[in-house]
């Protein structure tokens, strides 16, 4: 057999079930090998960026490690944004690319790129396979690297002559190796418990390290996985575990920007989502805390309002699976290099502290303020205007009737979702991008639907973001992926328009444009299309889109100044 066949076998041995890609000279033998089997599904897409964001969505939805495929140079550079975004956001991903044949390498051959040099900085690992008999070893290591520890993207480059090289048919695949996530040191757990018990204004910050769908630990059967599949109250892991921990210390809990559904939103300890446009009460809970327990969060610029959120006098207890994150932004008093879910479980295994009145009183005050502030503002103005308040209200009403995963791209409407919609997994789930790359949403929604074919997926996108990847509607129709995409269509790069509103004297430049009729565009492809111009049309249109069973676009026509909720501002540029 040839290297391409061995590559297919190696992927299959690792449990890969789907690939998304675009062909090119260097990977034609790989496609040939895929064509001769039916264990791995190959979906041809319309842009490599789409393939990589789809793989990202597949990973986040718990489908395993998402894999995207491209031919050398330009095929891979088209994936670069998605790879860098996955690196920012700890998403496991494998980008599999061809490379010029070794026989002509280093001559600036056609579309040749120094792949390992270029991608070293935005991947967890980037490797070029030098001989076909090492394909099983390196593919296995790549996938293990992607999913272990702090997950992230890997690039595997396979030169053409490695794919065509002959190897014995009995070239073995390697047995799967999974790395158990590190458990916390017992002394550190004791210190955390003691400091929390002595605190008067604690807060728990829940980040992506807790109960991650993408951790890959569920597949290994090891303890301490908090994925949607295994995060049950019975085991005290994941979402239920951290809610129990919050209850034990009467501690309010907040989540980082993209992780809203990592804490039960209907729990009385939940006081909101950090990040741009966070509610006043959410920021206050953190700013005024005497003790912060940070579980698997990296204190991103976004979450910390440009590193201004924490008071230097606050005692920080920081748990993270990546030791590089401990002390990187804020120096912790207790730094725990461990899996966050395992740490929660170990904390819960200790004796209950006595109740504390001061903490309970503060929690009640914050919870009451959160209840008040997280009520969707009611529009009293022109009832025919398709305002964002009405858009979010309608979307929330549909989600309450028709449970789905909501995928939110980078639109200004994201702030509304993070403030005002509540998610109760597993019925309703929420996925957002924190790296900020526009265009993530629609393809990530396709990947989510591919990972969870029995569940519904709704994508909320801005028009600017959606149009960047709109070509993938053809992929969705051809491959029968019934994602409903609601486009908040304000004919503007709204988020950047608001920077001009607040920081550039309302001098609007380069932020407005025209869009074609996106509902008609959908129908031209054989998808379902709805154009919504009046608030009363919104909910029935989304319902019809869901009922159609087709990929669908609901094009919601708005005023070009629609965007952020009242009082919210982009983080100032300086
Ligand atoms: C790939 C990429 N380019 C540019 C930006 C900067 N940016 C952030 S949001 C935004 C505008 C988004 O417009 P749209 O998707 O229509 O959403 P809206 O804010 O209008 O709701 C821009 C240009 C980005 N985040 N990612
Ligand atoms: Mg817009």
What is the tens place of the pLDDT at every residue in 525-550?
999 999 999 999 999 999 999 999 99
Residue 529 β-bridge partners: 553
Question: Which residue minimizes the CA distance to atom 13 of ligand 1?
Answer: 493
Q: What are phi and psi of 96, to 5 degrees?
A: -105, 120
Model confidence at 381, in pLDDT bands (50, 70, 90)? confident
Rounded to whole angstroms, the Cα distance separating 134 from 350 reads 47
Q: What is the pLDDT of residue 433?
A: 87
Rounded to whole angstroms, the Cα distance separating 141 from 135 reads 10
Q: Cα torsion at 36, 42, 45, 47 (round to 10°)?
A: -90
Average pLDDT over every residue of 139-164:
97
The closest of 67, 65, 61, 23 to 41, measured between CA atoms, is 67
DSSP assigned state of 138:
H
Q: Which helix (H) or strand (E) holds 396?
A: helix 388-401
Q: Which helix (H) or strand (E) holds 557?
A: strand 552-557
| Ligand 1 neighbourhood includes 563 CB (under 6 angstroms) | yes
Q: What are phi and psi of 422, to 5 degrees?
A: -115, 140
- What would the pLDDT profile of 48-98 be if each residue is shown by its tens digit? 999 999 999 999 999 999 999 999 999 999 999 999 999 999 999 999 999
Determine the distance separating the centroid of ligand 1 and the alpha carbon of 377, expressed in angstroms: 24
Determine the distance separating the centroid of ligand 1 and the alpha carbon of 436, expressed in angstroms: 8
Question: Which residue minimizes the CA distance to atom 21 of ligand 1?
Answer: 411
* C-beta of residue 129 within 8 angstroms of C-beta of residue 135: yes
Rounded to whole angstroms, the Cα distance separating 23 from 45 reads 9
Model confidence at 255, in pLDDT bands (50, 70, 90)? very high
Cis peptide before 426 (omega within 30 of 0): yes
Rounded to whole angstroms, the Cα distance separating 467 from 455 reads 25
Residue 405 β-bridge partners: 429, 457
* C-beta of residue 52 within 8 angstroms of C-beta of residue 155: no
| Ligand 1 neighbourhood includes 411 CB (under 6 angstroms) | yes
Q: What is the pLDDT of residue 235?
A: 40
| Ligand 1 neighbourhood includes 565 CB (under 6 angstroms) | no
Rounded to whole angstroms, the Cα distance separating 99 from 155 reads 12
Model confidence at 238, in pLDDT bands (50, 70, 90)? confident
| Ligand 1 neighbourhood includes 459 CB (under 6 angstroms) | no
* C-beta of residue 295 within 8 angstroms of C-beta of residue 325: no
Selected residue with higher pLDDT from 437 and 232: 437
Rounded to whole angstroms, the Cα distance separating 204 from 278 reads 16
Rounded to whole angstroms, the Cα distance separating 168 from 175 reads 18
Model confidence at 362, in pLDDT bands (50, 70, 90)? very high
Question: Which residue minimizes the CA distance to atom 11 of ligand 1?
Answer: 493
| Ligand 1 neighbourhood includes 316 CB (under 6 angstroms) | no
Reported as half-sphere exposure (CB side, CA atoms, 13 A), residue 126 has a value of 16
State which of 52, 495, 496 you would mutate to test the pocket of ligand 1, scoring each by most atoms of that ligand within 8 A of its C-beta: 495
Determine the distance separating the centroid of ligand 1 and the alpha carbon of 341, expressed in angstroms: 33
Q: pLDDT averaged over the chain?
A: 92
pTM tops 0.85: yes
Rounded to whole angstroms, the Cα distance separating 153 from 468 reads 22
Q: What is the pLDDT of residue 228?
A: 38
Q: Which helix (H) or strand (E) holds 115?
A: helix 115-119
Radius of gyration for the alpha carbons in the chain, expressed in angstroms and rounded: 24
Side by side, the strands of the sheet bearing 405-408 are 429-432, 405-408, 457-462, 484-489, 552-557, 528-532
Taking every pair of Cα atoms in the chain, the longest distance, rounded to a whole number of angstroms, is 74
Q: Which ligand is nearest to the CA of 464?
A: 1
Q: What are phi and psi of 494, to 5 degrees?
A: -60, -40
Q: Assign 486 to helix, strand or coil.
A: strand
Rounded to whole angstroms, the Cα distance separating 231 from 226 reads 4
488 CA closest ligand 1 atom index: 21
* C-beta of residue 293 within 8 angstroms of C-beta of residue 347: no
Q: What is the pLDDT of residue 563?
A: 87
Residue 531 β-bridge partners: 555
* C-beta of residue 127 within 8 angstroms of C-beta of residue 155: yes
DSSP assigned state of 432:
E
* Poorest-pLDDT segment among 64-73, 158-167, 372-381, 558-567: 558-567
Rounded to whole angstroms, the Cα distance separating 61 from 55 reads 10
- What would the pLDDT profile of 454-484 be if each residue is shown by its tens digit? 999 999 999 999 999 999 999 999 999 999 9
Q: Which stretches within 14-47 are classed as H helix? A: 28-35
Selected residue with higher pLDDT from 225 and 574: 574
Q: Cα torsion at 420, 423, 429, 433 (round to 10°)?
A: 30
What is the DSSP pairing of strand 405-408 with strand 153-159?
Answer: unpaired
* C-beta of residue 153 within 8 angstroms of C-beta of residue 126: no
The 3 state secondary structure assigned to 299-335 is CCCCCCCCCCCCCCCCEEEEEECCHHHCCCCCCCCEE
* C-beta of residue 253 within 8 angstroms of C-beta of residue 263: yes
Determine the distance separating the centroid of ligand 1 and the alpha carbon of 497, expressed in angstroms: 9
Rounded to whole angstroms, the Cα distance separating 262 from 208 reads 8
């Amino acid at each position: 057999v040839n290297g391409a066949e061995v590559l297919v076998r190696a992927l299959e041995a690792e449990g890969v079930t789907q690939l998304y890609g675009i062909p090119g000279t260097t990977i034609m033998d790989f496609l040939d090998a895929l064509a001769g089997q039916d264990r791995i599904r190959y979906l041809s897409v319309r842009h490599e960026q789409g393939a990589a964001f789809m793989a990202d969505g597949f990973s986040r939805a718990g489908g395993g490690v998402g894999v995207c495929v491209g031919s050398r140079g330009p095929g891979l550079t088209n994936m670069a944004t998605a790879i860098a975004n996955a690196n920012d956001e700890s998403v496991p991903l494998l980008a599999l690319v061809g490379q010029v044949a070794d026989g002509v390498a280093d001559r600036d051959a056609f579309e040749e790129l120094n792949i390992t040099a270029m991608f070293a900085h935005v991947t967890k690992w980037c490797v070029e396979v030098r001989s076909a008999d090492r394909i099983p070893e390196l593919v296995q290591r790549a996938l293990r690297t992607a999913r272990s520890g702090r997950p992230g993207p890997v690039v595997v480059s396979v030169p053409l002559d490695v794919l065509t090289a002959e190897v014995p048919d009995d070239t073995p695949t390697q047995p799967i190796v999974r790395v158990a996530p590190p458990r916390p040191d017992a002394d550190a757990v004791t210190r955390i418990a003691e400091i929390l018990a002595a605190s008067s204004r604690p807060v728990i910050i829940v980040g992506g390290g807790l109960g991650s769908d993408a951790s890959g630990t569920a597949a290994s059967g090891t303890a301490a996985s908090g994925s949607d599949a295994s995060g049950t109250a019975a085991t005290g892991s994941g979402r239920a575990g951290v809610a129990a921990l919050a209850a034990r210390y009467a501690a309010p809990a907040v989540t980082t920007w993209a992780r809203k559904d990592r804490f039960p939103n209907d729990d009385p300890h939940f006081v909101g989502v950090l990040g741009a446009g966070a509610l006043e009460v959410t920021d206050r809970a953190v700013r005024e805390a005497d003790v912060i327990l940070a579980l698997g969060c990296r204190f991103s610029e976004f979450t910390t309002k440009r590193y201004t959120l924490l008071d230097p006098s606050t005692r920080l207890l920081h748990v993270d699976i990546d030791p590089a994150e401990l002390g990187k932004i804020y120096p912790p008093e207790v730094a725990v290099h461990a899996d966050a879910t395992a740490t929660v479980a170990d904390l819960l295994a200790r004796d209950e502290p006595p109740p504390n009145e001061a903490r309970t009183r503060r929690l009640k005050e914050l919870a009451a303020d959160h209840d008040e502030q997280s009520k969707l503002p009611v529009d009293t103005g022109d009832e025919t205007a398709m305002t964002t308040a009405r858009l979010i209200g309608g979307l929330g009403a549909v989600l309450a009737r028709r449970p789905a995963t909501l995928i939110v791209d980078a639109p200004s409407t994201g702030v509304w979702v993070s403030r005002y919609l509540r998610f109760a997994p597993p019925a309703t789930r929420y996925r957002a991008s924190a790296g900020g790359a526009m265009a993530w949403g629609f393809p990530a929604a396709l990947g989510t639907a591919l990972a969870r074919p029995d569940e519904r997926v709704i994508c909320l996108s801005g028009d600017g973001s959606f149009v960047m990847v709109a070509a993938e509607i053809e992929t969705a129709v051809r491959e029968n992926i019934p994602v409903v995409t609601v486009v908040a269509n304000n004919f503007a790069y709204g988020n950047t328009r608001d920077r001009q509103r607040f920081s550039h004297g309302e001098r609007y430049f380069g932020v407005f444009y025209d869009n074609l009729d996106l509902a008609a565009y959908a129908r031209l492809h054989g998808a379902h299309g709805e154009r919504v111009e009046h608030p009363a049309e919104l909910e029935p249109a989304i319902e019809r889109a869901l009922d159609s069973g087709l990929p669908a676009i609901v094009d919601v026509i708005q005023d070009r100044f629609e965007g952020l909720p009242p009082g919210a501002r982009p983080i100032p540029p300086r």
